[in-house]
Amino acid sequence: MLMPKRVKYRKPHSAPRIKGKTKLGFTVAFGEYGLKALEPKWITARQIEATRVTLARFLKKKGKLWIRIFPDKAITKHPAETRMGKGKGAPDHWVAVVKPGRIMFELEGITVDEAKKAMRLAAAKLPISTRFVVRD
């Protein structure tokens, strides 16, 4: 599972809204094909890992895969059946903040049809709507 080795603060503030479009990572930079996010959402480390496994199984050592998002935000949670108060809960899982326009995954070394099929399988693992993009 992806997570940072070290963080400056164990329990970061959780912003209630993800406003605006992405400021960076909106072009296909490494591969030939990409999977672009169309809506804002927190993508968990488990969702990223499930997508990575799906793409790796589909590629079967043929192409190359880049993961352009990283879960670096800790989400805290109180244990089940705990009363209100008593401070902020312990870190539970990690998320990547994804805004509209962000390229999340990139592929290279396969045909366009294979890439479209792979990205469709990958998009099924993610909780947001996505679009298949080709490098200009």
The domain segmentation of the chain, as residue ranges, is 33-76+89-134
Picking from 136, 121, 135, 133, the residue whose alpha carbon sits closest to that of residue 31 is 135
Q: Please give the residue that has the higher pLDDT: either 134 or 14.
A: 134
Q: 32 with 54: CB under 8 angstroms?
A: no
Q: 110 with 64: CB under 8 angstroms?
A: no
33-76+89-134 belongs to CATH 3.90.1170.10: yes
How far is Cα 36 from Cα 68, in angstroms, rounded to an integer? Answer: 10
Please give the pLDDT value at position 15. Answer: 73
Specify the pTM: 0.93
Backbone dihedral angles phi then psi of residue 57, each to the nearest 5 degrees: -65, -40
Q: What is the mean pLDDT of the chain?
A: 94
Q: 71 with 5: CB under 8 angstroms?
A: no
Please give the pLDDT value at position 16. Answer: 67
For residue range 37-70, list pLDDT tens digits in order: 999 999 999 999 999 999 999 999 899 999 999 9
